[in-house]
Amino acid sequence: MGTTRWLDDEEQRTWRAFLAATQRVREELDRQLQRDAGMPLAYYQILAMLSEAPERTLTMSRLARTTRSSASRLSHAVARLEAKGWVSRCQHPADHRTTLATLTDEGLAELEGIAPGHVEQVRLSLFDNLTSEQTRQLHEICRAVLEGAGEGPAPG
């Protein structure tokens, strides 16, 4: 098994700060979306990813990967969004084993209505606390972590 590569003091401080910071940002974003739109961050992410896709449509498996969600959790969330009329699902015309999720016009209108408040909260929770150099560094760090996890180049 080999020896454990324990974190040194600097790595331990960095690790704990990273966990606290990422948790705090997610909590603030989730709280803002619940307050202003009555939806969790996970639902907003689904709507946003669909809005950026060609024809506002993705396969459910691609949407699960993009939102970093399990298939069952995504299916439950999409069912709720479908009940609100914001997302529709149908079988892929060329592969009936594949389900497509599409952002409806009503869903796009909802997203457009809540996006300004969400973006403002992102600025307040993260970017207003960083210099432009720190923002660039954070992006490089995130890319390195994702690439190291075998996910290929990070977006952007």
Q: What pLDDT, in 10s, does the model give residues 82-101?
A: 999 999 999 988 888 999 99
At 55, the pLDDT band (50, 70, 90 cuts) reads very high
Count CA atoms within 13 Å of residue 49 on its CB side.
22
- Our measurement of the distance from residue 30's CA atom to the centroid of its chain's CA atoms, rounded to an integer in Å, reads 11
- Residue 84, Cβ density class (10 Å: 0-12 exposed, 13-18 middle, ≥19 buried): middle
Across the chain, mean pLDDT equals 94
pLDDT of amino acid 40: 96
Q: 33-121 — its CATH code?
A: 1.10.10.10
**Looking at the predicted structure, is the pLDDT value of residue 18 above 80?**
yes
CA distance 116 to 110: 11
pLDDT tens readout for residues 27-41: 999 999 999 999 999
